[in-house]
Amino acid sequence: MSQPPQASQQQSQKANTFNKSEKTKDIRLTNIQAAKAVSDAVRTSLGPRGMDKMIQDAKGQVLITNDGATILKQMDLVHPTAKMLVEISHAQDVEAGDGTTSVVVFAGALLKSCEVLLEKGIHPTTISEGFQFALENALEALDELKKPVDLDNKQQLIECVQTALSSKVVSSNSTQLAPLAVDAVLRIVDPLKPNNVDLKDIKIVKKLGGTIDDTELVEGIVFSNQKASQTAGGPQKIENAKVALLQFCLSAPKTDVENSIAIKDYTEMDKILKEERKYIIDLVKKIVASGANVLLIQKSILRDAVNDLSLHFLAKKGIMVVKDIEREDVEFISKTLCLVPVAHIDQLTPEKLGTAGLVETVFLNDESKVLRITGVPAQSKALTILVRGSNQLVLDEADRSIHDALCVVRSLVKSKGLIPGGGAPEIHLSLKLTQKANTLTGARSMCVRAFAEALEVIPYTLAENAGLNPINVVTELRNRHLKSQKFAGIGMKKNNIVDDITTEQVVQPILVTRSALSLATECVRMILKIDDLVISAR
């Protein structure tokens, strides 16, 4: 492996710094440095006025986003500690779906205060415990801000989603996307398990073209890549559909590669032709007998899913054929249409069919086509969101934003509590913790105070990103909260401090903040406890 001299020099330099174990204090500091750098990298994306990052990946693909989790995932960080921060942002994404940037920013701020505490000679374990203590207190104090959520009060939920979307590229469409996300999640809530929802039941289908305004919620299924077969002039629209999901092929069986059929007489030629037709006709007859009029055929790499002959017969019988259904979609389709996939023609019975009011090829406004299945059974618990966007970048970002929006609603379903946004909870907690710190003595008091200060990074960054003077904003917020205006926060509509941020409909699920605080604290405690970094040579 020959490398250019410069690269090998770099490599040896790295090897020098890595292949020996470093001094405990140094390693802790470098770890903190690395993690802080990561948090600095995403902090400009925090909040509604946050900026975007443009990332060109190793393949040259360009991505524009301000979703913290996505940025970090794409950045391909190499430092092991930095990777931990990527992990927590991912964990936040899974748990709450939103607040992926704030968790990293907060972790960075906590680490910064650790540095100061470490310099003062406080033992890492004490700091770690102190932070844990502070966290417990913070979570308690957070509940003071909590407002109960009523899942029937849609307006409240929509406001919440709008706050989450306000920082995204698609923020201008939030009035449209927010109700959509709320409707989607509320529809799939299972009355038996009212405290959780499975977002897998919402399929997001992306179709390039149109604008984000054309995004819609479909109670049913939309296929953007698969189409109803047109080759033999098959139907494009079927009402009162009986849908069968086939996992076998409708084409003549082929001989194995080694075998072949030998013909000795010309009469046998006719026979072969007829046999093939007969085979297909039998298949078609059985399908007709089952009563199915829409066939979804799973993708197969072994054989053609259909051939001209079967398409022709099915078209004649007025049966719609959709081929190339992906394996991973099978479960979703079964769930939505309440059908059972059929693996062999003999098992195709009327009970295994799903029903749908309407299956049709729909022309979207820009003349592209999708296949849409609507009028699904009432007990069906799955639905589709069809996302449109004028270019791939916007489309992908809209997809991510809708995912975030859905997560926000889910977190409200999970823990039914709302807190104000706009930096209000952080300032509130910070004040409470400072008061708490004053009642304590020793190193723990220092740690709690440091934790309280770190919390202020969120309103500080919000203000900075919005082009406000962060120092003025944070101090004024502190002041107001001291006067027990505990809902005072930064309003982005007019870029000023608002007495009650909830009047501007800036609210977020309590789960987001709770999980962000816990995740960040845990991660920081872990980083603190590392005192050695050994990289095994390869």
Out of 2, 6, 121, 260, name the contact with other proteins by CB under 8 A.
Answer: 260
CB of 511 to other proteins, least distance (A): 28
Q: For other proteins, which is the closer residue by CB, 150 or 213?
A: 213
Rule CB under 8 A: say whether 302 interacts with other proteins: no
What is the spatial distance between Cα 246 and Cα 156, in angstroms, rounded to a whole number? Answer: 43
Question: Residue 40: what residue type?
Answer: D
User: DSSP strand E in 273-344: where?
Assistant: 294-298, 320-325
Stretch that binds other proteins, among 94-102, 103-111, 303-311, 523-531 (CB under 8 A): 303-311
Tell me: does residue 90 bind other proteins (CB under 8 A): no
Q: Which of positions 383-412 make contact with other proteins (CB under 8 A)? A: 390-391, 393-394
Look up residue 338 and give its amino acid: C
Cα separation, 92 vs 186, in Å, equals 22
Q: Which residues pair with 306 in a beta bridge?
A: 250
Cα dist from 212 to 174, 208, 215, 390, whole Å:
10, 10, 5, 7
Least spacing, CB of residue 361 vs other proteins, in Å:
12
Give the strand order in the sheet containing 383-389. Answer: 202-208, 383-389, 216-218
Residue in 67, 201, 329, 399 annotated catalytic: 67
Q: Which one of residues 27, 75, 151, 186 is an interface residue with other proteins (CB under 8 A)?
A: 75
Cα–Cα dist 404/508, whole Å: 12
Answer for which of 27, 232, 330, 340 binds other proteins (CB under 8 A) is 232
Instruction: State yes or no: residue 20 binds other proteins (CB under 8 A).
Output: no
CB of 249 to other proteins, least distance (A): 16
The piece of 41-49, 92-100, 501-509, 523-531 that touches other proteins (CB under 8 A) is: 41-49
Contacts to other proteins from residues 332-361, by CB under 8 A = none
Q: One of 44, 81, 101, 336 is an active-site residue; which one?
A: 101
Reference 462, options 506, 428, 423; nearest CA is 423
Q: Any contact of residue 2 with other proteins (CB under 8 A)?
A: no
Residues 168-227 that bind other proteins (CB under 8 A): 169, 172, 209
Catalytic-role residue among 65, 100, 215, 336 = 100
Active site residue: 201, 404, 502, 513, which one?
A: 404
Q: Let me know how long the chain is.
A: 538
What is the C-alpha radius of gyration for the chain, rounded to an integer number of angstroms? Answer: 29
Binding to other proteins (CB under 8 A) within 429-468 occurs at 465-467
Reply yes or no on whether 211 is catalytic.
Answer: no
DSSP-derived pairing of the beta strands 496-498 and 489-491: antiparallel
Write out the two tokens for 146.
Answer: 């909590």
- At closest approach, how far in Å is the CB of 460 from other proteins? 16
Which of 28, 46, 53, 96 touches other proteins (CB under 8 A)? 53
Binder to other proteins among 40, 213, 331, 499 (CB under 8 A)? 40
CA 245 – CA 325 distance, rounded (Å): 9
Determine whether 404 is an active site residue: yes
Q: Of the candidates 178, 250, 311, 385, which one interacts with other proteins according to CB under 8 A?
A: 311
Q: How far apart are CA 166 and CA 164, in angstroms?
A: 6
Told to check if 8 binds other proteins by CB under 8 A, we report no
- Nearest distance from residue 70's CB to other proteins, in Å? 12
DSSP secondary structure, 105-117, as one string = HHHHHHHHHHHHH
Give SS3 for 143: helix
Give the count of alpha carbons within 13 A of 333, CB side only: 26
Tokens 């006067």 correspond to what residue? 483
Number of residues engaging other proteins in binding (CB under 8 A) = 78
Q: Does 266 bind other proteins (CB under 8 A)?
A: yes
Phi then psi for residue 375, to 5 deg, are 70, 45
Q: Work out how close the CB of 76 gets to other proteins at its nearest, in angstroms, rounded to a whole number.
A: 5
Nearest to 158 by CA among 458, 408, 366, 488: 408
Query: Does 506 interact with other proteins (rule: CB under 8 A)?
Result: no
**Is residue 282 among the annotated active site residues?**
no
Residues 524 and 517: their CA atoms lie apart, in Å, by 11
Interface with other proteins includes 55 (CB under 8 A)? yes
Is-catalytic flag, 100? yes
Q: Give the shortest CB-169-to-other proteins separation in angstroms.
A: 7
Instruction: Just list the catalytic residues.
Output: 67, 100-101, 404
